Amino acid sequence: MQRRLKLTSYVMKRISTAFLQTVIVLIGIVALIILIWFPLTEGRATHLDLFSTYADPFILYGYGASMAFFVALYNAFRLLGYIGQNKVFSTNSVKTLKNIKHCAILLSILIVVAGLFIRLTHNTEDDPAGFLAICMATTFVAIVVATAVAVFEKLLQNAIDMKSENDLTV
């Protein structure tokens, strides 16, 4: 009976981590589709050829800034892999959390820079309020993610330190 419960617990853990890894992959695919599709629907790009649409400096900046997002997704995928392998209490997990935190901070800085650029250089006939609202919301989300990950990183580091201390005393 005890062995059956352990096996069931192991299977449930593998299913949940595989599900979360699938969700992360789907988030990455949806973000990539949006990055490819959105420039074609943007107002000033409707009358441009394909090269001119994607060669816009602001669109290129958006692609560059999105790299931090995709690196954070990759690190979240790796962290779930460590969880699935029962290697949560390892220095690799702490490094992965640190990478996610740095990516979230970098992403929030890049979003603020983009918002400031649009605010300072927008055409007076344009209304940048919607874009600036999206910038503020996504910056807030990135800061919340960075803060939560920093807390998890600290807790995990403390747990690893306590575990190594207990291993030495036994």
Q: Residue 170: which pLDDT band, with cuts at 50, 70 and 90?
A: low
Provide the pLDDT for residue 5.
61
132 close to 118: Cβ distance less than 8 angstroms:
yes
The string of pLDDT tens digits covering residues 44-80 is: 667 777 777 788 888 889 899 999 999 999 999 999 9
Give me the amino acid identity at 137.
A
Q: Are 65 and 114 in contact (CB under 8 A)?
A: yes
Phi, psi of 125 (to 5 degrees): -80, -15
Question: Domain range spanning residue 139?
Answer: 2-169
**Structural domain count, the chain:** 1
Distance CA 95, CA 80 (A): 13
Q: Which has more confidence, 167 or 99?
A: 99
Average pLDDT score, the chain: 88
pLDDT tens figures, 12-22: 778 899 999 99
Q: What is the mean pLDDT of residues 85-91?
A: 89
Euclidean distance between CA atoms 167 and 165, whole angstroms: 5
